[in-house]
Structure 1
Amino acid sequence: MTSPARPGRGDAWTVDDLQDLPEDGQDYEIFDGSLLVSPHADVFHGAVANRLRRMLDRQAPAGLLVGQDIGVSAKRSSYFVPDLFVAREDALDRGGPALDPGDVLLVVEVISPSNAGRDLVLKRHEYGVAGIPRYWLVEPRKRTLTVLENVGGFFREAASVGVEGSWRTDQPFPLVLTLADLI
């Protein structure tokens, strides 16, 4: 049995290289040509992401897609798979291994204790530089949602939402969220 093809020593990983990796219970992403490996999220994490997806799906207008399990090319040598995203639906018609950041209106990460640094620092920076307009950080254990908006390639905090009451916004589309129903 032959092992999957991998970049040669010193060569950068690409999205195409990920196609040859096994389905082994790990999540694979690429940062600046280096492979990032993390375990699949736990059930609680998945439940929070799925509840939020359903909330967004119910309110999303035609032409926008709320999705999961599709990567975003932050730049040629980086590829991340957010827990959720909102993108223009026609972007999916173009195909390819990843969404172009210009088609992505929002990325959402549900923070896991084992992976918090990647979401809070690395992805925040990379999504910002890539020009993605909004980044939401859901912290289930703190029971908060932090809403970040891109200003000149960097994210600034626009809102911090707790479990009390409902939160309304017009971006990326008009919606109302009740965080208590999510976490």
Structure 2
Amino acid sequence: MHADLNDLHERYQKTCELWSDRRVEIIDGRIVVRELPTIKHSDVVYYLMMQLVPILAERSWKLYMETSLFLSTQMDRYQPDLIVIPDPPRLWDSNHIHADCTLLVTEVVSPSSENDDHVVKPARYSAAGVPLYLVIDPRQGQARLLSHPSSVGYTHETKVRLGEALRLPKPFDLTLETDVFQE
């Protein structure tokens, strides 16, 4: 198993170098290379970021986009669309932040990532200790906030239609306006 993990990590690093203009992740033990996000996808991330900026400045938190997460002992390596972390971040290496030190991880669903963002990643993020996982799905017209991570998955889910308010619990204590996330 150790040799397989080293081989996967080597292939991942080489793939990252080869496809530096793409998003490269290890998802469920497979290397996934995706096109960079569309303008609409980037708009959703931007509108979320703009709602978070006041609280980030107030609490000296940082927001990163397209940054890789280290998911503890799991082989997977994800690059979420947006993460919020306390400053300074706890690094695994120069390119990966420990997932369990995040405050919020967000994925904006695209057609090629639907199963991974809705099914695979929630289980992995929960097992890695990510406290809040926000999934924004403009195509389905919904946002899901998963919280209370455990080794078997998140134990709480709040789902809203885009256009409805979505409350982020503590430490955010913030209501997101989701109408700006609609297609």
TM-score for both structures, normalised by structure 2: 0.82
Residues 19-45 of structure 1 show CA distances to partners (whole Å, capped at 9, x for unaligned) of: 532434x21012365422122121111
What does residue range 75-90 of structure 1 map to in structure 2 within 5 Å?
A: 75-76=72-73, 77-90=75-88
Contact 1:146 1:157 in 2 (8 A): no
**Partner residue in 1 for 2:89:** 91
Whole-Å separation in 2 of the counterparts to 1:54 and 1:18: 32
Aligned to 2:148, the other structure's residue is in SS state strand
**Partner residue in 1 for 2:110:** 112
Contact 1:13 1:35 in 2 (8 A): no
- Kindly provide the amino acid, as one letter, of the partner of residue 71 in structure 2: A
Whole-Å separation in 2 of the counterparts to 1:151 and 1:181: 28
2:38 pairs with 1:42: yes
Where do 5+ consecutive residues of structure 1 fail to align? 1-7
User: As a proportion of its length, which structure holds more helix?
Assistant: 2
Percent identity, please: 24
Aligned to 1:176, the other structure's residue is in SS state strand
Whole-Å separation in 2 of the counterparts to 1:90 and 1:74: 18
Contact 2:163 2:180 in 1 (8 A): no
Aligned to 1:57, the other structure's residue is in SS state helix
**Partner residue in 2 for 1:176:** 175
Deviation at 1:13, TM superposition (A): 2.1
Contact 1:13 1:33 in 2 (8 A): no
Deviation at 1:178, TM superposition (A): 1.0
Where do 5+ consecutive residues of structure 2 fail to align? none
Whole-Å separation in 1 of the counterparts to 2:91 and 2:113: 32
- Kindly provide the amino acid, as one letter, of the partner of residue 142 in structure 2: T
Output the aligned Cα RMSD.
Answer: 2.6
1:69 pairs, out of 42, 55, 66, with: 66
**Partner residue in 2 for 1:51:** 47
Q: How many residues align?
A: 175
Residues 89-145 of structure 1 show CA distances to partners (whole Å, capped at 9, x for unaligned) of: 211688621001121111111111221011112211111111111111101122211
Q: Runs (4+) of structure 1 moved beyond 6 Å? A: 92-95
2:156 pairs with 1:160: no
